[in-house]
Amino acid sequence: MTLDGKTVLVTGGTGSFGKKFAEVVLRDHNPQKLIVYSRDEMKQQEMRDAISSPLLRYFIGDVRDQDRLRRAMQGVDVVVHAAALKQVPACEYNPMEAVKTNVMGSQNVIEAAIDSGVAQVIALSTDKAVNPVNIYGATKLCAEKIFVQSNAYSGSDGTRFSCVRYGNVAGSRGSVIPLFASQKETGRITITDDRMTRFWITLEQGVKFVTDCLEEMDRGEIFVPKIPSMRISELAQALAPECAVDIMGIRPGEKLHEVLISKDEARTAVELGDKYVIIPPQPWFQAPDWHQGTALEEDFEYTSDNNTQWLTHDQLRAMASAVA
C-alpha cells in the first residue's frame, strides 16, 4: 500500500476529515509516522486524548505560513491537504480570509511540498468548485487549478499533485444532520427549498476514496467518486417525520442542485468502475493507463438531480444514526 512505511502529513488534521483520516490510516495501514498539522492547540489536545498512537505527531501551524509548512514537511513522503475555510456563510462574509486560506494556503502547501521533496500531494475539493456561485466554491476552484498545474512546476521527477472532489459529508462540522437533530427538539425543521438535492458521502467513504486515489494517481487528475444523491426534504422527513417544516428560501451563495462534473470537464473525463477521472488536458500529462476507462457521452453532466443513485429513507435514517 502507498502509505505503508511512509511519513504522511495531513493539513487541517484536527477537522472532521483529518480525525477520521488518522483513525483509518492507523487502523488499515502501516505508516512510519502520521503528522497532524493544524492551528488549534486545544483541538490537537482533544485529538491526542481520543486517539492514542506512538505514530502520531502534532504540528501547530497555519497553511498561511509557508515557512512552518516547509519545516513540517521535512522528511514527509505524502501530504493530504484538507485544511480549508468551508462554511459558505462565513466565507461569503469574510471573502479575503477565504482567499488567504483556501487559495494562498494551497499555494503554500504546493511550494513547501516541492521545496521539501514530498513525493505525492492530494488535495480535497468539493462539488461547489464546479460552476461556483459562492466564494467558497470559487476559492476551491482556484485551488484545484493551481494543484493540477503545479505538476508543470515540479517536473516529471518531482512532486506529484492530484485532487479528489466529492459532495457533502454526512456528520461533518456544520452539516445539516446535526442541525436537524438540534431543531428536532423544537418540533420545527427549517429547510431552504424543498426541491433542493445534494450529493452525499460518509467520512469513512471519503477517507477510503482518498487513500485509494493515492494508490492510483499519476499526476494532475481530479478523482470524482460515484456517490448517491438525496433530497433535503426527504432527509428532514426521514429524521423528524413528526416535525413541521418551514421553507426559508435559498440563501446567498447556495445552489438548488450541485454539480460534480460539468459538461466541459466531461470531454476530458473517463468512467472507471466506482469513479470518474477528469484527465488534465495539459501537454505535460503522460499517463496512458487512464485510457482504459470509458469516455463519457456527449453533453454528459454529473449533477445531484440527474443522479442514478438515490438514498432511501431507511438509508438516510441509518446514515444519520451512524453520525449522531
pLDDT at position 264: 95
Model confidence at 55: pLDDT above 70: yes
Report the range out of 93-102, 184-193, 279-288, 305-314 with the highest average pLDDT.
Answer: 93-102
Which of 19, 128, 140, 275 is an active site residue?
128
What would the mean pLDDT of 290-312 be, rounded to a whole number?
Answer: 91
Amino acid 139: pLDDT: 98
Residue 283 has pLDDT above 90, yes or no: no
Residue carrying C-alpha cell 488535495: 123
293 vs 226 pLDDT, higher one: 226
Write out pLDDT tens, residues 123-133.
Answer: 999 999 999 99
Separation CA 221–CA 203 (nearest Å): 22
pLDDT at position 207:
97
Residue 128 appears among annotated catalytic residues: yes
Q: Where are the alpha helices (DSSP H) in 128-268?
A: 135-154, 176-184, 203-216, 232-239, 263-266
Residue 109 has what pLDDT? Answer: 98
Residue 54 in this model has a pLDDT that exceeds 60: yes
pTM of the model: 0.94
The pLDDT value given to residue 115: 97
Label residue 151 by pLDDT band (50, 70, 90). Answer: very high
Map out the domains of the chain as residue ranges. 7-167+202-227+259-303
In this predicted structure, what is the pLDDT of residue 51?
95
- Computed over every residue of the chain, the mean pLDDT equals 92
Residues 6+ apart with CB under 8 A from 294: 270, 271, 272
**The domain 7-167+202-227+259-303: what is its CATH number?**
3.40.50.720
